[in-house]
Structure 1
Amino acid sequence: MRPFARTCLLLLMMATTGAGTPSGTVVNDSAALQRLYTNSGVTLHYISFETPGRGQLDVRLANGFVHLKGMHRAIGEPGLLTIEGDVLAIDARSFTFRGRIVIADTPDPGRRCIRDGVFHFRQTGVRRYWRMQEMERCDGLTDYVDIFL
């Protein structure tokens, strides 16, 4: 399906109910949604943020929501990021994500940070990625999770 047709179909499928409860992803900017669909990977800065070292991020429609599922694994050493959940809303430079983010064995072996909830990803300035805004959680460390355009 052509990108424009896919975006139009998504917009039609992502209406809200009369009660104001989202029945799918709220799309406020179709161009941003298209950028998310054509992303160039997900990263955790402890592992790598270079293009060949980026992880994969699959984006698909599931039950009316834009669903993200991805992984970034260190090559030849411990270190793993997994992300899975739904995009609740997307705007021109940000989106809201509800799901699970797991960071394991990085930056130190044995570390395990499991985060469930709602997270905000934002693109600022001229950056070519969305960065998770809730960066501090486990062990007092700052975790930069980025999704590249």
Structure 2
Amino acid sequence: MIRVLASVALLLGTGAVAQVTPAPTRVADRAALVRLRGNTGLSLQWISWAPRARGTVRVLERSGVVHLSGRQAAPGAGTLTLDGDVLAIDARDFSFRGRIVITDAPDLGRACVRDGTYSFRATGTRRYWRLQQMEQCDGLTDYVDIYF
């Protein structure tokens, strides 16, 4: 025990950062996870809602952790990126921890960087999950949608 504590103290003293393994994604609804795996892209309303202009979302799973990496971009319309882990998913909602970045949308020079935990929800008969924390930068409402 003393050796373990001494090793931890040595690591902390050198400025080394221990890697924390994320907890596996809590899956309350398997069908929702299947929909997320088979998603048909993402969009930000400032860039485009048109199906042919949607960005892509890549879903990777490692050690039970569902990871999302996505991007939508259009010349002159800006860029949306997201990267992070799904903490939990149920029939209509999932929680996401990571980074969402909007640049040059709706205006050239705008940069909205969000780091944290966010909720995506599919309401009614909608065929997409929408980011619930819509107003975070500049007082603008950003509709970030992931389609299924």
Report the equivalent of 1:120. 119
Instruction: Give, in angstroms, the shift of residue 120 of structure 1.
Output: 0.1
TM normalised by structure 2 equals 0.83
Amino acid at match of 1:122: R
The offset of 1:62, in angstroms, is: 2.7
- 1:83 matches 2:62: no
Runs in 1 of length 4+ with deviation above 6 angstroms? none
SS at match of 1:84: strand
Kept in 1, the 8 Å contact 2:46–2:77? The answer is no
Report the counterpart of residue 52 of structure 2 in structure 1. 52
**Alignment-mate amino acid for residue 109 of structure 2:** G
Q: Aligned to 1:36, what secondary structure does the other structure show?
A: helix
For structure 1, list consecutive stretches of 5 or more residues without a partner in the other structure.
1-21
Q: Secondary structure at the match of 1:137?
A: coil
Greater radius of gyration (CA): 2
Aligned length: 127
**Paired position in structure 1 for 2:133:** 134
Quote the residue 2:42 is aligned against.
Answer: 42
Q: For residues 121 and 77 of structure 1, what CA distance do their matches in structure 2 show?
A: 27
1:78: how far off? 4.1
Q: Distance in 2 between matches of 1:35 and 1:92?
A: 10
Q: Deviation per CA, 1:14-61, whole angstroms, max 9, x where unpaired?
A: xxxxxxxx7200000000000000000010010011110000100010
Q: CA deviation at 1:63?
A: 3.9
- 2:104 maps to 105
How many angstroms apart in 2 are the aligned matches of 1:44 and 1:23? 29
Letter in 2 for 1:104: T
Question: For the Cα contact (< 8 Å) 2:41–2:146, is it kept in 1?
Answer: yes
Question: 1:132 and 1:63 mapped to 2: Cα distance?
Answer: 26
Aligned match of 1:24: 24
Question: Over aligned residue pairs, what C-alpha RMSD do you find?
Answer: 1.0
TM norm structure 1: 0.83
